Amino acid sequence: MNIDLRNRIISLVLFVVILVLAYLLYDSITTPYEKVKQQQALTEAVRNRMTNVRTALNRYKLANENKFPANLDSLMLFVRTDSATVAMSDSLFMENKPFVFNIDSLIFSPRDGSRFYYSLNDTIRPNIYLLKDINSKDVIGDTLRTTSLNAASWE
């Protein structure tokens, strides 16, 4: 084997090794970034869904003498039966792509399908509530401070 042939073989092997290492480097950077982007999209979807629940809670309050519903099932019954809310549901409630808005999924987290936690404090005036995603630190409102009524933790 002459020196030129040996150098070509070594160069070819080194070129293949460099390509493999370049791919592994690219993959080690982009794969975690894609996971972060998916988590951010999911967090945004949860927050949008919670904002939709807040909108429905406020519509319920306006229609029911400034009182919030006792539980989320009462809210869902209102959302499904109130003619104005049903007619305006496309403009009232928003949803991020790829998630498609479904009125039946209003009180469920897009993260894992669990129900949002809802607690009402109707012993003080005005009534106040706490809406929480149990899988994150995202909350809307507070059951102790009236100044936190309708305030989202991310806004």
Per residue in 17-69, pLDDT (tens digit) is 999 999 999 999 988 988 999 999 899 989 989 998 999 999 999 988 889 99
What is the rounded CA–CA span in Å between residue 60 and residue 83?
12
Q: C-alpha distances in angstroms, 128 versus 52, 71, 152? A: 17, 13, 13
Q: 97 versus 143: which is more confidently predicted?
A: 143
pLDDT at 9: 93
Q: What is the pLDDT of residue 144?
A: 85
* Cα–Cα distance measured from residue 80 to residue 97, given in angstroms and rounded to the nearest whole number: 23
What tokens appear for 4 in the block?
A: 């030129």
pTM for this prediction: 0.76
Measured on CA atoms in the order 135, 136, 138, 142, is the torsion positive or negative? positive
Calculate what percentage of the chain has a pLDDT beyond 70: 94
The pLDDT value given to residue 53: 92
For the chain, how big is the Rg over CA atoms in Å? Answer: 26
